[in-house]
Amino acid sequence: MAESTLDDADGTTPSASRPPLSPAPLTPGMIRGEIWCVLALSLGAAAVSATISFTGALTAPQALSEQTASLVGSAAAAERPWLDLSWQLYRLVFALAPVALVLYLLRRSRESARTIGFDLDRPVFDLSRGALLAALIGIGGLGVYLVSVQAGINRPIAPSALNGHWWQAAVLVLQAVKNGVLEEVIVVGYLMLRLDRLGWSPVRAALASSALRALYHLYQGVGMFFGNLVMGLVFCWFYRRYGRVTPLVVAHSLIDIVAFVGSVHLIGRLDWLPGA
């Protein structure tokens, strides 16, 4: 009987005795390709869509202030609430697929969610700093929105077109949390980490991250483009300072929860708050 140490018929070493292959290191070309793939499946595509939407709004017969930007739309007729709810939950779950991809890619490169501070290791810090950021950015963002709509350079925002179903508030809260996780994990944590690996300076990386954030909000108008640009710069500064994405997720989620749920109850009741 032949010994197990003999070569295979083709002269190669038997598979049982071959050493395991080590993962190839990430080259600059691989990192750039990875970034483009992630963005093409997520917020890069959203930036292109927002640019097309804004172009359409600019070339429409109505002025920007006479149009409406919808944030959470209905997916079924008002008399079919369960079908609408099913579509809303489907969209929420699969919208987070790029985040799962990013976390998988981090593990492949021997990193993890903790590398970008996306974990629950410091709950008090994350909640307190997140709430403070939400207050600062939220108040400033509301001011920018009101002024830009009044100036005619922004579209009034309709936060919800969910027909007032009993599950509307819950879906809006989940949408807000989804936005916080998707945007901050990808546009701040992942993108800044990968741009660091490419040798970008902190300022250049922060400008790229913030410009991307501003672009995928462009569909709302010029005012929110610049408002989100500033928000991005502040968030990138915070991430550089503390190395944690979780407080940014908390801040973004709180801002959107107040904007989504609060606007549903306040638009039409406060004369100074524009909307549909």
- Using one digit for the tens of pLDDT, what is the confidence trace for 99-127? 999 999 999 999 999 999 999 999 999 99
Lowest mean pLDDT among 16-20, 213-217, 225-229: 16-20
Backbone angles phi, psi at 221, to 5 degrees: 135, 175
Hey, where are the domains in the chain? 28-266
Quote the pTM value: 0.88
Q: How far is CA 129 from the centre of its chain?
A: 19
Nearest alpha carbon to residue 43 among 160, 209, 269: 209
Residue closest to 186 by CA, chosen among 77, 23, 87, 40: 40
pLDDT 10s digits, 1-41: 444 444 454 555 555 566 665 556 789 999 999 999 999 99
Amino acid at 15: S
Q: What is the mean pLDDT of residues 138-156?
A: 91
